Amino acid sequence: MKQTIQLNGGTMAVIQARKRIVPLQRPTPVSAAEPDLSVPERGTTGPVSVGEAMQPLQRLIAHPDRGRLLAKFCELHNLLQ
């Protein structure tokens, strides 16, 4: 579809809108096995990095049964008090 706009000088300009084709991205399949819900302990050299501490939650978020596993995770770590 061609759209016309009037420029400041009074001349007409034609703008062509192109449709951008985006390829379909399918999510990677997730195994239905229950992931490890333990949080890493403090290391011998000091505290655990944030990225390493977030890995159990990232695995949990990607799991198909994340609602039940999140409830179990909160029970294990006494987060619902």
pLDDT, tens digit, for every residue of 2-51? 665 556 665 665 666 677 788 888 776 666 788 888 877 877 778 888 88
Give the pLDDT of residue 52: 85
Phi, psi of 22 (to 5 degrees): -105, 125
Q: Dihedral, CA atoms, 27, 29, 35, 37, nearest 10 degrees?
A: 0
Give the pLDDT of residue 33: 80
Give the pLDDT of residue 22: 80
Whether 37 and 56 have beta carbons less than 8 Å apart is answered as yes
pLDDT at residue 62 greater than cutoff 80:
yes
- In the chain, which ranges are continuous DSSP H helix? 50-61, 66-76
pTM exceeds 0.75, yes or no = no
Give the pLDDT of residue 7: 61
Query: What's 43's DSSP letter?
Result: B
- Structure tokens, 75: 């029970």
